[in-house]
Chains A and B, each alone.
With several copies, the nearest count.
Chain A
């Protein structure tokens, strides 16, 4: 295992230490393991909290700040946070107007956030959870755990954060996050596996000319293994899967070409060139785009494409000023 880390058992703590040192605009509580906006809680503002396993940086801690999250709670690598920790983040974010939980749809995240919400209600904090499940690689049926939450998480945190900053109500902030989720679809591919520090070996083995289609963000293998293909073909697989699930033709979209952590920007731009061409050729207008490593899976090589069908309000919320370590514009 080749990682720039110290003690494997301390990797999350050391990450938090680094974030604390690098970002004076954040309040990092190493004991509670939460990352909080320096000015939280803001009285009267709806609080926005998210969290999940570590290893997806900058998600979620890197999205704490003006116009986005009030607090984040990172669990162990690829392991959902525990209820006490989620509660601490919720309390830190609570300005009396309620708190929205953005929860990626994994059994562990859903259960732990649910328990935390119960604890928060004991402390008279109203919590509305929004579950994100945008990954089309997984069949959505009552016979599965449902779809995974991936790139839509970033979109939901941005839109809900902007609305909360603008004074939106608890119900409205939750509703916009839900709307973003409903209008977003994602599909990811992996060229390499990744290694959970505590495990010390890759979660799966891939041949030199193989790739995984339909991966998640936890180092799990995908739905299908195929031979390595050129970027335009991969993009076609991903966008066709998305388009089949949610027809894109005629819409204005926000598109994210998201690196999984080990893929350099150069390749993401190459992929984005293919994405832009595909969408243009299918009658889709790209109104906004984002290319980079935002929702990662440790050092996995690969990319995930997320497409959000915009509305005028969602475009406005996307464009609204944001000031976080991971996403910043307008101030």
Chain B
């Protein structure tokens, strides 16, 4: 699994979709999610030196995200990638089993930092089923697992629409947060689309 390609693809997808993410955030947040992630991911891609092992790639990208993103999503995505990278260690390759464990570590990091559980209308709602789906399909290889994860992430994100937010800025709106897609869940879908794209190429 080429984690560098994963991060680069994630950056591409976010750049292309930044406007939509920002608009989603304007509806129930403060209208900066696209700009935040885009800024952070550009820094992450730049930070990636040549010939890094997969775990080191994720740790470097995570650190850059923390350093440059700001907002809630910076520490959350940054912490997630750092923890995932740590889980991969110094191994030269990352197979589906290793990546499954790394993804689980990422989810744990997000939940430790942000204290959100499924149903709070956050990125956790996309991340949790995606990680579970990846784990379940890991035996079928990285490409199939990533496709399954993407599928689950999309469903999880979509399921945030009818929810009332209990974490993040959207929670300030109370009942008015209902009926909107959570921007962080939307960007998590892009994270898994990038994973599927990268795994499919490799």
A and B touch in the complex (CB under 8 A): yes
Interface residues of A (CB under 8 A from B): 53, 75-84, 106-108, 111-112, 114-115, 137-139, 143-145, 148, 196, 198-199, 201, 203-204, 216, 218-221, 223
Interface residues of B (CB under 8 A from A): 22, 26-32, 35-36, 39, 66-76, 113-114, 166-169, 171-174, 176
- With a cutoff of 8 Å between Cβ atoms, the chain A residues found around residue B173 in the complex are 220-221, 223
Instruction: Establish whether residues A220 and B32, one from each chain, have CB atoms under 8 Å apart when the complex forms.
Output: no
Q: Which of B31, B68, B69, B113 counts the most chain A CB atoms within 10 A?
A: B31
- With a cutoff of 8 Å between Cβ atoms, the chain A residues found around residue B75 in the complex are 83, 108, 111-112, 114-115
Instruction: Establish whether residues A79 and B169, one from each chain, have CB atoms under 8 Å apart when the complex forms.
Output: no
Instruction: Establish whether residues B166 and A199, one from each chain, have CB atoms under 8 Å apart when the complex forms.
Output: no
Cα separation A84 to B174 with both chains bound (whole Å): 33
Main secondary structure of the interface of B (DSSP, over half): helix
**Leading 6 A-B pairs by shortest Cβ distance:** A218-B30, A111-B75, A108-B72, A107-B72, A108-B71, A79-B70
Instruction: Establish whether residues B168 and A145, one from each chain, have CB atoms under 8 Å apart when the complex forms.
Output: yes
Instruction: Establish whether residues B70 and A76, one from each chain, have CB atoms under 8 Å apart when the complex forms.
Output: yes
- With a cutoff of 8 Å between Cβ atoms, the chain A residues found around residue B39 in the complex are 76
A-B pairs with beta carbons under 8 Å apart, 17 shown: A76-B36, A77-B32, A79-B36, A80-B74, A106-B169, A108-B75, A137-B172, A144-B171, A145-B168, A196-B32, A196-B35, A204-B26, A219-B30, A220-B169, A220-B172, A223-B174, A223-B176
Specify the chain A residue showing the minimal Cβ separation from B114: A107
Instruction: Establish whether residues B72 and A106, one from each chain, have CB atoms under 8 Å apart when the complex forms.
Output: yes
Instruction: Establish whether residues B66 and A83, one from each chain, have CB atoms under 8 Å apart when the complex forms.
Output: yes
Nearest CB of chain A from residue B115's CB, rounded to whole Å: 9
Nearest CB of chain A from residue B24's CB, rounded to whole Å: 12
Nearest CB of chain A from residue B26's CB, rounded to whole Å: 5
Specify the chain B residue showing the minimal Cβ separation from A219: B30
Q: Which of B28, B68, B173 counts the most chain A CB atoms within 10 A?
A: B173
Are A196 and B31 also in contact (CB < 8 A) when A79-B71, A83-B67 are?
yes
- With a cutoff of 8 Å between Cβ atoms, the chain B residues found around residue A78 in the complex are 30-32
Nearest CB of chain B from residue A289's CB, rounded to whole Å: 27
Instruction: Establish whether residues B74 and A145, one from each chain, have CB atoms under 8 Å apart when the complex forms.
Output: no
Instruction: Establish whether residues A199 and B67, one from each chain, have CB atoms under 8 Å apart when the complex forms.
Output: no
Instruction: Establish whether residues A82 and B168, one from each chain, have CB atoms under 8 Å apart when the complex forms.
Output: no
- With a cutoff of 8 Å between Cβ atoms, the chain B residues found around residue A216 in the complex are 169, 172
- With a cutoff of 8 Å between Cβ atoms, the chain A residues found around residue B69 in the complex are 82
Instruction: Establish whether residues A199 and B70, one from each chain, have CB atoms under 8 Å apart when the complex forms.
Output: no
Cα separation A218 to B32 with both chains bound (whole Å): 10
- With a cutoff of 8 Å between Cβ atoms, the chain A residues found around residue B71 in the complex are 75, 79-80, 108
Instruction: Establish whether residues A76 and B32, one from each chain, have CB atoms under 8 Å apart when the complex forms.
Output: yes
Instruction: Establish whether residues A82 and B74, one from each chain, have CB atoms under 8 Å apart when the complex forms.
Output: yes
Cα separation A115 to B75 with both chains bound (whole Å): 8
Cα separation A84 to B43 with both chains bound (whole Å): 14
Specify the chain A residue showing the minimal Cβ separation from B28: A220
Cα separation A218 to B76 with both chains bound (whole Å): 20
